[in-house]
Amino acid sequence: MSRQTAVVPFVYRSGNTFQMNGRRSTAAKCFINIFLTLSFLFIMPAIQCSAQQNSAIERDGQHDFDFNIGTWKTHIRRLLHPLSGSNEWVELDGMVYVRGILNGRAQLEEIEADGATGHFEGLTLFLYHPEAHQWAQYFASGTDGIMNQPLTGQFKDGRGELFDQELFNGRTVFVRFLWSDITPDSHHVEQSFSNDGGKTWEPNFVATLTRDKDTRTSNEISIPSSSNAADGTHDFEFHFGKWKTHIHRLLKPLTRSDAWTDYDGISIVSKVWGGRGSLLELEAEGPSGRIQGFGLRLFNPQSNQWSLNWVNGGSDPFMTRPMVGKFAHGQGRFYDQEDFQGRIIMSRNGFSDITPNSSRFEQAFSDDGGQTWETNWIMTFKR
């Protein structure tokens, strides 16, 4: 709710009473009336304009991507050599599967297509930031399972426009993604590059999508598994399903505090890329509040490693840096280096005690380069 401040002229103050003395009172009153009239004429339109602008800026776009949920047939045209003057395109046909996450504030899109250049497989994560009223669009290729930095933008007049700046063939370019021609059963997607600061754009990926009404749209999309998958591809299969989840959390890590709190909730883990990835959706509550979020685990067939990507489901969702590692001897170990309260620390995630009906997860921090570790988060899963 906006707060308005009254505009009044300065007058002499005596005690608790504002006074104007002598013969000047009539002239002063006239001046005040004129001042207030002019203030009303000039200030009120400005307030109304500001309110209109704030209304437009603060538009809730949480449901802008709702049209995208479902199963789609797609035809893709891809420019083989962007920003080279080449006009050599290839065409692919395939399927796109989209599921909602976090009650619509996020979506996971799986893509598979085939053409003259072979098989293409990708994954797009859409994440809405309610405080900024913007969407972030992340992408991972099936060849490495690594999430790229996000494009960011919003919808206006039924058209979505998201931007990013990134390296392409050693050059820094702008990247733009457009979502347009949106109907209940079709839409158009286009990626373009610009190497002149956005003055001109060259499309290099153009897709038309038509809804496949004959295919189910559940939250477990079954993309066929790779026949030549490397060892470790299906390490997370033990976790598929619905789990009762207990969380034991250290309130103030790396402070020598021993104050813990507990939560209880449900975790649902579903397949991604036919098992070469998985999606964990978590909701839990306890004395310290509510926890909501999801973890996206993706396998990199080039390194035979997994990346663990976590998204906080609070008022302003964000994706943390990925933990990277692998399973060995029935246990998973994943590491990264991150900023924690202004300090650079080591972080470790681990899965252990794995049985068909239970498992255990632990997170630990180290501020001495990994010589010692302090556990700060323990989750136990039971069917």
How confident is the model over 145-168, as pLDDT tens digits?
999 999 999 999 999 999 999 999
pLDDT at 338 over 80: yes
Amino acid at residue number 50: S
Q: Could you say which of 2.40.128.20, 3.90.550.10, 3.40.640.10, 3.50.50.60 is the CATH number of the domain covering 235-382?
A: 2.40.128.20
**Which residues pair with residue 340 across a beta bridge?**
343
* Residue 182 CB coordination number (10 Å): 17
Choice among 51-60, 303-312, 336-345 with the minimum mean pLDDT: 51-60
For residue 347, name the pLDDT band (cuts at 50, 70, 90): very high
Q: What is the pLDDT of residue 51?
A: 47
Query: Mind listing the pLDDT tens digit for each residue in 179-195?
Result: 999 999 999 999 999 99
Task: State the CATH class of domain 66-211.
Answer: mainly beta
215-220, Cβ contacts within 8 angstroms, sequence gap of 24 or more? 215/71, 215/95, 216/71, 217/69, 217/70, 217/71, 217/97, 217/98, 217/99, 218/99, 219/99, 219/270, 220/270, 220/271
Q: Does residue 209 surpass a pLDDT of 90?
A: yes
Alpha-carbon Rg for the chain in angstroms = 28
* Residues whose CB falls within 8 Å of the CB of residue 250, separated by 6 or more in sequence, listed in order: 257, 258, 259, 260, 374, 375, 376, 377
Calculated CA dihedral for residues 348, 354, 357, 362, nearest 10 degrees: -20
Q: What is the DSSP letter of 230?
A: P
Does residue 24 register a pLDDT over 50?
no
Over residues 120-149, the pLDDT tens digits come to 999 999 999 988 999 999 999 999 999 999
pLDDT at 225 over 60: no
Q: What pLDDT score was predicted for residue 58? A: 64
What local confidence, expressed as pLDDT, does residue 152 receive?
97
Are the CB atoms for 262 and 249 separated by under 8 Å? yes
User: What span, in angstroms and rounded, lies between the C-alpha atoms of 325 and 311?
Assistant: 18
Contacts of 189 (CB under 8 A, 6+ apart): 177, 178, 179, 205, 206, 207, 208, 209
Q: What are the start-end ranges of the H helices in the chain?
A: 24-57
Q: What is the pLDDT of residue 214?
A: 76
Rounded Cα distance, 325 and 305, in Å: 5
What is the structure's pLDDT at 60? 85
Give the other-Cβ count within 10 Å of 255's Cβ. 11
Q: What single DSSP character describes residue 147?
A: B
